[in-house]
A and B are shown apart, each in its own frame.
Chain A
Amino acid sequence: MSNDAGRLEGKVCVVTGGGSGIGRAVCLLFAQEGAAVVAADVNAESAERTAEAILSQDGRGTAMEVDVSQAESVRRMVESTVEELGRIDVLVNNAGFGFAATVVETEEADWDRLMSVNLKGVYLGCKYTVPVMIRQGGGSIVNTASAAGLVGVPDRAAYCASKGGVIAMTRAMALDHVGDGIRVNCIAPGSVESPYFDDIFARAEDPAALRRQMESRHPIGRLGAPAEIAQGILYLASDDSSFVTGSALSVDGGMTAH
C-alpha cells in the first residue's frame, strides 16, 4: 500500500502557489506519493526552487510561472501542462494572500487585488481545467480555503470574505460536476507557520506575546506546519476520498471547534 505504490502514482497534479508555504509542501508530498507535479507560482524563481527540490528527492516536477488572476496566464498554464504531461488529474487552487485591515481601512484597490487572486484565481483555475478533466473522464480539485472562511477573524474582513467565497464555490462546483466524475473539495487551515506570520510577529510591539495569543486561538496550542495542511490536501486529492465531494475539511488545531 503506502509503502509499495504512492497514493498519487501516475497522476498529473497542478499546484498554484507552489513556490512557497503550503503549496510548496503540497508539491513535495505529492511528488513523494508518485505524482508528476507542476509547481506554478507568480514568483517564477520560487516555483523553480520547488521543482529543484522535487528533482533532488527523485520525484517528477516542473516549474511554471502563473498569475492566477489573469485568464490568459491560467489558460497557458493548463495548456502547457496538457502539452507536456498529457492530462491533469488533480488541481490544487492554493495561490492566495492576505492582509490585516477592517472594512473601513481596506482600500478599494486592495480589496480588488485580494479577490482577484483568492477567489477569481480559483474560478479561473477551474474554468480552464474542468474541460480537460471532463475529456479524460474525471479528476479531483482541492481549493485552499481557510478557517477564516468559516468563522470571523478580527481585522481580516476582505480575507474572510474571499475564503468564504471559496467554500461556497466549492460546494456549488461539486454539484455541477459530480456527473463528470470530478470531485471538488476544499481545505480550511487555521494559522500556519509562514513568512506572512513571521512578518506580522516581527512588526508587533511584543512579538512573543502576539505569537502566544495566536497559538492560544488553536486548542492544540501551536500554529500548523505547511506539511500538516498538505496531508489533508493529499487525502482529498487521492482516491482515498472517492466518496467525498463538496466538503470543507478543517485542518486548524481545533480553532473552529470552540
Chain B
Amino acid sequence: MRLGGKVALISGGARGMGAAEARLFAKEGARVAIGDVLEREGREAAAEIAAAGGEAMFIGMDVTSPSDWDRAVESVASRFGRLNVLVNNAAIYLRGLVEETAPEDWDRVMEVNAKGPFLGTRAAIPAMRESGGGSIVNISSFNSLVGTTTSTAYNASKAAARLLTKSTAVQYAKDGIRANAIHPGPVWTAMFTSGFPDTESIERRRAQAPLGRIGTVEDVAYGALFLASDESSYITGSDLVIDGGWTAQ
C-alpha cells in the first residue's frame, strides 16, 4: 500500500476533492483525519471510509482559525500518534472582475485560501518534525499560473498558496519535510459549478478544454497520493499541473 503506516490530515475533506483524497489515501493504507467546517458531510465522509474498512476521524475546524489548527493537529497526534501528511485543500471561490470584487470579499478569499494553508503549515511543521519528516500538499489552481476573465481574488489567493509552498519547501527540506503544490484545471465539484451562472457556460468551458473534458476529483486525488507518498521523496517545491493541457497553450 502506497501510504501504509502514514497519518494524513486533509482540510476541506468533507466533500469534493478533499473527500476523494481522503477515500484514496485510506484505501492506500493511511489513517485519515478529515478537517472541515461542514460537520454532517465530514462525519459522513469519515463513516464511509470506516465502512469500507479504512480508518478515519472527523475534526470540526475552520481553516482561518489558528487555535482550530492547533487543536486539529493535537487531536490527530493523540488519536493516531503522528502526522506525516497535510493536504491544504479547503478553499472558497469568488467570481468577479477587479472592479466587481468588494474589498471585504477579497479579504475573505485570502483568509481562507492563502492564510488557511499558511496556518495549517505552521501548525503541522512541529508535529511532522517529531514524526521524522512529512509531506505537505497544497491544492492551488491553474488560475495561479495564468490570468482569467472570470475571477480575481481567487487567482491571487491561489498564487499566494503556490509561493507559500515553495518557501516552505526551501525552508524545511533540512527537516525532511517536503511541500508541493497541485494546480488542478476545471474539475467537477460543487465549487466549480457554483462559479458559472448556467449550464451552457459550463458546457462552453468544457468545449474550450484541450482534453475536451472537465477533470474528476479522482484525477486530483491520484496526484495528491503521489506527492503524499514516499514515491516523491525527491520532489519538493514543485508544481504538479493536473489541468488537461490548459496551461500548455
Contact with B along A183-211 (1 / 0, CB 8 A): 00000001000000000000000000000
Chain B residues with Cβ below 8 Å from A174 are 210, 245, 248
Bound Cα distance from A220 to B238, whole angstroms: 13
Partner pick for A178 among B169, B173, B212, B222, CB 8 A cutoff: B212
Chain A residues with Cβ below 8 Å from B146 are none
Contact: A1 with B211, CB < 8 Å? no
Contact: A256 with B237, CB < 8 Å? yes
Contact: B248 with A235, CB < 8 Å? no
B231 within 8 A of A: yes
Contact residues on B (Cβ < 8 Å of other chain), bracket: 35 or more
Given the known interface contacts A2-B1, A175-B245, A219-B237, the answer about A241 and B223 at a Cβ–Cβ threshold of 8 Å is: yes
Contact: A246 with B210, CB < 8 Å? yes
Bound Cα distance from A191 to B170, whole angstroms: 17
Contact: B2 with A2, CB < 8 Å? yes
Contact: A250 with B212, CB < 8 Å? no
Which residue, B1, B212, B215, B234, has most C-beta atoms of chain A within 10 A? Answer: B234
Contact: B173 with A241, CB < 8 Å? no
Bound Cα distance from A243 to B217, whole angstroms: 10
Chain B residues with Cβ below 8 Å from A220 are 173, 178, 234, 236
A251 within 8 A of B: yes
Bound Cα distance from A227 to B151, whole angstroms: 41
Contact with B along A229-245 (1 / 0, CB 8 A): 10110110000111111
Which residue, B169, B211, B215, B249, has most C-beta atoms of chain A within 10 A? Answer: B211
Query: Which residue of chain A has its CB nearest to the CB of B211?
Result: A178
Query: Which residue of chain B has its CB nearest to the CB of A240?
Result: B222
Contact: A246 with B223, CB < 8 Å? no
Q: How far is the CB of B102 from chain A (nearest CB, A)?
A: 33
Q: How far is the CB of A241 from chain B (nearest CB, A)?
A: 7
Partner pick for A219 among B1, B173, B213, B215, CB 8 A cutoff: B173
Given the known interface contacts A221-B174, A246-B247, the answer about A235 and B242 at a Cβ–Cβ threshold of 8 Å is: no
Contact: A175 with B210, CB < 8 Å? yes
Given the known interface contacts A174-B210, A241-B222, the answer about A251 and B235 at a Cβ–Cβ threshold of 8 Å is: yes
Contact: B226 with A253, CB < 8 Å? no
Chain A residues with Cβ below 8 Å from B247 are 246-247
Q: How far is the CB of B192 from chain A (nearest CB, A)?
A: 13
Q: How far is the CB of B4 from chain A (nearest CB, A)?
A: 9
Partner pick for A254 among B169, B185, B242, B243, CB 8 A cutoff: B169
Query: Which residue of chain B has its CB nearest to the CB of A173?
Result: B248
Partner pick for B239 among A178, A225, A246, A250, CB 8 A cutoff: A250
Chain A residues with Cβ below 8 Å from B150 are none
Given the known interface contacts A1-B28, A253-B173, the answer about A245 and B210 at a Cβ–Cβ threshold of 8 Å is: yes
Contact: B249 with A219, CB < 8 Å? no
Query: Which residue of chain A has its CB nearest to the CB of B241?
Result: A247
A79 within 8 A of B: no
Q: How far is the CB of A251 from chain B (nearest CB, A)?
A: 5
Given the known interface contacts A219-B236, A244-B242, A250-B235, the answer about A175 and B169 at a Cβ–Cβ threshold of 8 Å is: no
Chain A residues with Cβ below 8 Å from B202 are none
Q: How far is the CB of A33 from chain B (nearest CB, A)?
A: 11
Q: How far is the CB of B205 from chain A (nearest CB, A)?
A: 15
Contact: B234 with A245, CB < 8 Å? no
Partner pick for A257 among B166, B215, B233, B241, CB 8 A cutoff: B166
Chain B residues with Cβ below 8 Å from A254 are 169-170, 173, 236-237
Bound Cα distance from A256 to B241, whole angstroms: 16
Contact: A247 with B240, CB < 8 Å? yes
Contact: A243 with B236, CB < 8 Å? no
Q: How far is the CB of B212 from chain A (nearest CB, A)?
A: 7
Given the known interface contacts A174-B248, A178-B211, A245-B245, the answer about A250 and B219 at a Cβ–Cβ threshold of 8 Å is: no
Q: How far is the CB of A181 from chain B (nearest CB, A)?
A: 9
Q: How far is the CB of B176 from chain A (nearest CB, A)?
A: 9
Bound Cα distance from A109 to B128, whole angstroms: 51
Bound Cα distance from A258 to B169, whole angstroms: 9
Chain B residues with Cβ below 8 Å from A225 are 234
In the complex, chain B residues 131-166 whose Cβ is within 8 Å of any chain A Cβ: 166
9 residue pairs from A and B, CB less than 8 Å apart: A171-B249, A220-B234, A235-B223, A247-B240, A247-B242, A249-B235, A249-B240, A250-B239, A252-B235
Hey, which bits of chain A sit against chain B, CB under 8 A?
1-3, 170-172, 174-175, 178-179, 190, 219-221, 224-225, 228-229, 231-232, 234-235, 240-247, 249-254, 256-258
Given contacts A235-B226, A252-B234, 7 further A-B contacts (CB under 8 A): A2-B2, A3-B1, A231-B232, A240-B223, A243-B216, A247-B247, A257-B236
